[in-house]
Structure 1
């Protein structure tokens, strides 16, 4: 039984590390997405001064929030 607990503990540690790695990657991708969205909005506002400024959809509606995995994991 102790061997099984040790194996499960190591698997849990690996999953927590992988979750943290993926959370950091998601944060970086979200930052990149926000920067690109800002750039797109700036280009659109410069190029659409003659046309309808409401033609750009709000891409922020599609963004997802990341939850804190530390709150949901048990040591």
Structure 2
């Protein structure tokens, strides 16, 4: 019984260590995500002439060519 408790204790210890490692990794990923989101919002908030032209081209090319071939 004592051996079983020792094994369970070790398993629990390793699980807690892994959980701590994953929590730290999640925090880093969240910070990176927030930074990228902020950068994206800044870029979308300040459209330059290149983005405006690309948007115009993309929106005009949304026509479906398969519709024109139908009788």
Give TM class, smaller chain. 0.5 to 0.7
Which residue in 2 is equivalent to 1:28? Answer: 28
- From the CA coordinates, give the structure whose radius of gyration is larger: 2
Summarize deviations over 1:1-57 as a string: whole Å, max 9, x none.
000000000000000000000000000000000000000000000018xx8xxxxxx
Aligned length: 49
Return the alpha-carbon distance in structure 1 between the equivalents of residues 47 and 14 of structure 2: 49
TM-score (normalised: structure 2)? 0.66
Separation in structure 1 between the aligned mates of residue 22 and residue 5 of structure 2, nearest angstrom: 25
Residue 46, structure 1, aligned to residue 46, structure 2: yes
Larger helix proportion of the pair: 2
Relative contact order: is structure 1 or structure 2 higher (C-alpha 8 Å, sep ≥ 6)?
1
Q: CA RMSD in A?
A: 1.3
